[in-house]
């Protein structure tokens, strides 16, 4: 237990390139490279089943770079839904990216950082990259955090793109139970990741409220259910922590 | 309509209803993050909202499962998610242990309770 609690080593990279390579290395050493690999095999296979081309699904991985949004995009667009319905469903599933980017940018930014340098990390922001950047960046000197985060995302993207191609070719041979198991990787890895990064009561409360409010609002057909579940759940958690702090 | 030929159309759709509705959140976050300090109080709230939104997405992926996952009974999907959480807590707080436990519960449950 002492080992888990002790401060991790500080990464001190001699150059920009070294920090980027350090990010790629951290990506491939982390479980997310493999979780993404499995997830994107599922996405490649799903795209094949819905008659999208290999180039199209690979482009969707690079451009969208958010597994739940891609699953929704492929299954609704491929299922013949109205374009506006697809856009709304994709947009709703990706609301999480807004507060994630808002939380990450100040961590990566130093006093000399130019705004354009943050454009790429903003596009790269996805659960895997966000969880690892938020965890590791504070241990890295400020001026090396952006290349590190970009390297991290590049490592994950290489894994995801490779798996997308592989899944597309394997699709016809994948048994349905395996495809189901691959699609389950996203929710289970997201959950375990948040739990791991939840060291404070506010994080735990936000997690519980989000898990409960999400389906409750969805079953009640509340519009923008995910967004409201997040704002309400996060705000209740925030207020609870303030009240607790004030009572001490 | 020449631009909307059958080869190009899927890519136009990808950008219009896949890339843009997704990326707009990143761009908005990018703009809102300017001037927000790393240690500011509003970020505490923003992080809580980010966590809660992510939790809501997880719950929706379980309750309204996509593709082949929908064929696995809801009770098995929920049990497997809880199993992943317990596996993570019991086995050295390891993400891979949590994911592996959840997957094992899902596969065993799906085999036992075929619809």
Which value does ipTM take for this structure?
0.87
Judged against a pLDDT cut of 90, whether residue A12 lies above it is answered with: no
User: What is the per-residue pLDDT across A82-140, written as a single tens digit (0 to 9) for each?
Assistant: 898 889 888 887 888 998 999 999 999 988 899 999 999 999 999 999 999 999 999 99
* Amino acid A7: pLDDT: 47
A148/chain B closest Cα distance in angstroms: 18
Give me the residue label for tokens 């319905």: A85
Report the percent of chain A where pLDDT is more than 70.
Answer: 96
A36/chain B closest Cα distance in angstroms: 12
Q: Chain B interface, mutation test: which of A185, A234, A244, most B Cβ atoms within 10 Å?
A: A234
- Write the DSSP string, A127-177: HHHHHHHHHHGGGS-GGGHHHHHHHHHHHHHHHHHHHHHHHHHHGGG--HH
A236 against A12, higher pLDDT: A236
Judged against a pLDDT cut of 50, whether residue A234 lies above it is answered with: yes
Report the percent of chain B where pLDDT is more than 90.
Answer: 63
Is B104 an 8 Å CB contact of chain A? no
* Amino acid A4: pLDDT: 42
Beta-carbon-side half-sphere exposure of residue A145 (alpha carbons within 13 Å): 25
Query: Which chain A residues are closer than 8 Å to B49 by Cβ?
Result: 99, 206, 230-231, 233-235
Mean pLDDT of the region A151-163: 97
Neighbours of A4 (CB within 10 A): 8
């Amino acid at each position: 237990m002492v080992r888990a609690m002790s401060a991790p080593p500080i990464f001190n990279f001699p150059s920009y390139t070294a920090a980027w390579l350090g990010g790629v290395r951290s990506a491939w050493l982390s479980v997310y490279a493999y979780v993404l690999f499995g997830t994107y095999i599922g996405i490649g296979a799903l795209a094949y089943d819905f008659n999208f081309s290999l180039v199209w699904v690979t482009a969707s991985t690079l451009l969208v770079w958010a597994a739940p949004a891609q699953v929704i995009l492929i299954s609704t667009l491929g299922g013949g839904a109205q374009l506006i319905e697809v856009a709304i469903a994709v947009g709703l599933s990706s609301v999480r990216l807004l507060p994630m980017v808002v939380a990450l940018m100040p961590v990566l930014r130093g006093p000399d950082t130019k705004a354009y340098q943050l454009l790429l990390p903003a596009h790269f922001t996805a659960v895997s990259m966000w969880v690892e950047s938020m965890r590791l960046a504070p241990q890295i000197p400020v001026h090396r955090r952006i290349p590190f985060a970009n390297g991290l995302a590049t490592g994950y993207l290489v894994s995801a793109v490779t798996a997308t191609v592989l899944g597309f070719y394997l699709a016809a041979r994948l048994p349905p139970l395996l495809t189901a198991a691959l699609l389950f990787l996203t929710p289970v890895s997201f959950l375990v990741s948040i739990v791991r990064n939840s060291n404070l009561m506010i994080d735990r409360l936000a997690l519980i409220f989000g898990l409960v409010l999400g389906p409750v609002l969805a079953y009640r057909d509340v519009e923008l259910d995910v967004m409201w579940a997040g704002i309400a759940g996060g705000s209740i958690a925030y207020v609870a922590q303030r009240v607790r702090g004030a009572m001490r | 309509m020449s631009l909307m030929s059958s080869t190009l159309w899927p890519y136009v759709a990808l950008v219009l209803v896949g890339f843009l509705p997704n990326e707009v959140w990143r761009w908005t976050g990018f703009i809102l993050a300017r001037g927000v300090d790393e240690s500011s109080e509003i970020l505490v709230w923003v992080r809580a909202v980010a966590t809660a939104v992510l939790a809501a997405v997880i719950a929706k992926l379980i309750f309204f499962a996509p593709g082949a996952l929908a064929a696995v009974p809801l009770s098995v999907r929920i049990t497997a998610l809880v199993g992943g959480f317990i596996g993570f807590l019991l086995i050295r707080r390891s993400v891979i242990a949590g994911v592996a436990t959840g997957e094992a519960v899902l596969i065993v449950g799906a085999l036992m309770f075929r619809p």
